[in-house]
Copies of this chain bind each other. A is one copy, B any other.
Amino acid sequence: MPVMAELRARLAELADLSALGGLAGWDQRVMMPPEGATARANQLATLDRVSHELASADEIGEWLEELEGSELDEIDRDIVRVARRDFERQRSVPADLVGERAQAAAAGQATWQTARANADFAAFAPALARNVELARTYAACFKDAARPYDALLDDFDYGVATERIEAIFARLAEGLRPLIAGVGRQPERRAVPVGIPIEAQRAAVGATLRRLGVSEDSWRVDVSAHPFSEAVSRRDTRVTTRYESGSLESLLGALHEFGHALYERQIAPDLERTNLGRGTSMTIHESQSKLWENHVAYNRAFAPVLAEELGRGGHAIEPDALYAELAQVRPSLIRVSADQVTYPLHIILRFELELALIEGGLDVNDLPAAWNDDMRRLLGVEVPDDAAGVLQDIHWSAGLFGYFPSYAMGCLIAAQLWQQIEADLGSQDEALRVAEVGAIREWLAEHVHKYGRRLDTEPLVERATGRGIDVAPFLAHAARVVGG
Q: Does A129 contact B (CB under 8 A)?
A: no
Q: Does A32 contact B236, Cβ atoms closer than 8 Å?
A: yes
Q: Does A33 contact B234, Cβ atoms closer than 8 Å?
A: no
Interface majority SS (helix, strand, loop, mixed), chain A:
helix
Which residues does chain B contribute within 8 Å of A12, judged by CB atoms?
42, 46
Which residues does chain B contribute within 8 Å of A19, judged by CB atoms?
39, 43
Assembly CA distance A99 to B31 (angstroms): 32
Distance in Å: Cβ of A50 to nearest Cβ of chain B: 6
Q: Does B236 contact A36, Cβ atoms closer than 8 Å?
A: yes
Q: Does A220 contact B (CB under 8 A)?
A: yes
Q: Does B273 contact A33, Cβ atoms closer than 8 Å?
A: no
Chain A positions 1 through 30: 1 when the CB is less than 8 Å from some CB of chain B, otherwise 0: 000000000001100110110011001000
Closest B residue to A233 using CB positions: B39
Interface size class of A (residues with CB under 8 A): 35 or more
Q: Does A467 contact B (CB under 8 A)?
A: no
Given A12-B46, A50-B54: A35 and B232 within 8 A (CB)?
A: no
Q: Does A217 contact B35, Cβ atoms closer than 8 Å?
A: yes
Kindly identify, within residues 292 to 319 of chain A, every residue whose CB is under 8 Å from any CB belonging to chain B: none
Q: Does A377 contact B (CB under 8 A)?
A: no
Given A218-B33, A218-B36, A220-B33: A46 and B24 within 8 A (CB)?
A: no
Copies in the complex: 2
Given A19-B43, A42-B12, A43-B19: A35 and B220 within 8 A (CB)?
A: no
Which residues does chain B contribute within 8 Å of A40, judged by CB atoms?
232-233, 236
- A50 partner, pick from B13, B23, B27, B233, beta carbons under 8 A: B13
Q: Does A210 contact B (CB under 8 A)?
A: no
Which residues does chain B contribute within 8 Å of A46, judged by CB atoms?
12-13, 16-17
Assembly CA distance A47 to B13 (angstroms): 8
- Residues of A whose CB lies within 8 Å of any CB of B are 12-13, 16-17, 19-20, 23-24, 27, 31-36, 38-40, 42-43, 45-47, 49-50, 54, 216-220, 232-237, 272-273
Known A13-B46, A23-B27, A39-B236; 6 more pairs at CB < 8 Å = A12-B46, A20-B20, A20-B43, A34-B217, A35-B235, A39-B234
Q: Can you identify 22 A-B contacts, CB atoms within 8 angstroms?
A: A12-B42, A16-B45, A16-B46, A17-B46, A17-B47, A20-B24, A20-B43, A20-B47, A23-B23, A23-B43, A32-B232, A32-B236, A33-B216, A33-B219, A33-B220, A33-B235, A35-B217, A36-B232, A38-B233, A40-B233, A42-B273, A43-B233
